[in-house]
Amino acid sequence: MTGEEMHALVERLYPVCRSITGDGVRRTLKIVGEHLPLDVHEVPTGTQVLDWTVPKEWNIRDAYVKDPSGARVIDFRRLNLHVVGYSVPVRGTYTLEELRPRLHTLPDQPDLVPYRTSYYSETWGFCLSQRTLDGLGEGPYEVMVDATLADGHLTYGEHVVRGTSDEEVLISCHVCHPSLANDNLAGIAVAVALAARLEAQRPSLRLTYRFVFAPGTIGAITWLARNRDRLGRIGAGLTLACAGDPGPLTYKRSRRGDAGVDRALAHVLAGRPHTILDFSPYGYDERQYCSPGFDLPVGSLTRTPYAGYPEYHTSGDHPGFVTAEAMADTLETLWEAVRVLERDGRYRNLSPYGEPQLGRRGLYGSIGGRSDTREAQLAMLWVLNQSDGGHSLLDVADRSGLPFDMVADAAAALEGAGLLKRED
């Protein structure tokens, strides 16, 4: 998928009213499923998942606040952020003073509508701009929320791209936010594009890639609870969100801090504008995957991070806020990281006593004519010197300052000549 195609997917998903359960999640997964085959899982209300319980399912059809003339001054059909997520059904007439405790605004951003939820307490409310609220009279106002909160299911989807190894790379996106283009739709679009690119390379893939599209927090917790027997296969992982804003890329390390995925992202991001953050138990679902009982090697890749831009969780996070160029850049960064994870490994030099003669094995000739011939030869010497079974190719690239692909190419040539053996 091109950047423009990813942006088109964001635009298509934007109007769907998503939450942690309900038909909005199903509709989102159905659209994703037009690009990737998905295994969709339905987990019933009341199911115990770790320390949590799958909640009731919420679905909404319409909601509004009408002024005395009958005009909708707050209208769910115009913008689904106008309703507090998980609002229970209501119908009645209220004065403005009676309504005020249930009206949410952003006084410091008077033209924007906030995003608010109430997942685990049965209440209702509306979100509107401060400017709209300032223009309201005393009423009375007709209020209606046509919604259901009843036993149902939590829904999540998975797509697996199988490599030759059972070792897995986990890519996780949350699918629980309504009309928020950067958080979370850009991440979904980039994940879809990455999965499609991996599928095209599938015959040559070493690792297996598992994409999880699940509601935030409760969805990740549910997935973990239902997949405890396979978690030992996860060798690397990323949560992907805020993937389309104009800011530079930000990587937050896993709880381990020095996992292979942490080092791969640091290597890939070097030389371009970026920020690397230490792990903290605040943010996206990396905090679930990195909880101490699991301690999975899962970091977080965003552009501007969680809550770090003024449009975050507001109506300002619309499709015009994200760009095709930014999503394409996020995708290419992920692809470079995939190449590192695929090709990295530890090798042992099978001729460790003195430098082996490379010329008679045709190794110098095999790289002749390259503009970087000298560096390529140097990469072979570095790989031979460091291949004691304890250093990875990424270690070699970091220590030598040579590009990772050049180091990996050197290792492949040396292995082909019988001078190296892969240890892992």
Do 185 and 284 have their domain in common? yes
- The single-letter code of the amino acid at 16 is V
Cα–Cα distance for residue pair 316/112, rounded to 1 Å:
6
3-state helix/strand/coil string of 363-395: CCHHHCCCCCHHHHHHHHHHHHHHCEEEEEHHH
CATH classification of the domain holding 172: 3.40.630.10
- pTM value? 0.94
CATH classification of the domain holding 355: 1.10.10.10
* Residue in the block written with tokens 């699940």: 214
Do 297 and 389 have their domain in common? no
Residue numbers of the chain with a pLDDT score lower than 50? 367-368
Do 236 and 312 have their domain in common? yes
At residue 371, the pLDDT reads 56
Domain-terminating residue out of 343, 376, 400: 343
Cα–Cα distance for residue pair 178/84, rounded to 1 Å:
11
Residue 257 CB neighbours (<10 A) = 12
Do 40 and 182 have their domain in common? yes
Distances (CA, A) of 318 to 32, 228, 244, 306, 312: 19, 37, 11, 16, 10
Domain of 139?
57-150
184-211 as b/e: b if 16+ CB within 10 A: bbbbbbbbbbbbeebeeeeeebebbbbb
Do 126 and 139 have their domain in common? yes
Do 265 and 227 have their domain in common? yes
The values of phi and psi at residue 78, to 5°, are -85, -35
Do 144 and 240 have their domain in common? no
Do 119 and 225 have their domain in common? no
CATH classification of the domain holding 83: 3.50.30.90
Do 182 and 286 have their domain in common? yes
**Does residue 310 contact residue 316 with C-beta atoms inside 8 Å?**
yes
The values of phi and psi at residue 173, to 5°, are -125, 140
Do 125 and 159 have their domain in common? no
Do 43 and 64 have their domain in common? no
Cα–Cα distance for residue pair 268/208, rounded to 1 Å:
20
Domain-terminating residue out of 286, 313, 343: 343
Please state the domain count of the chain: 3
- Over the stretch 206-224, which tens digit does the pLDDT of each residue have? 999 999 999 999 999 999 9
Domain-terminating residue out of 298, 317, 343: 343
Residue 93 CB neighbours (<10 A) = 11
Q: Which residues contact 321 (CB under 8 A, 6 or more apart)?
A: 181, 182, 244, 245, 311
Do 278 and 384 have their domain in common? no
At residue 365, the pLDDT reads 58
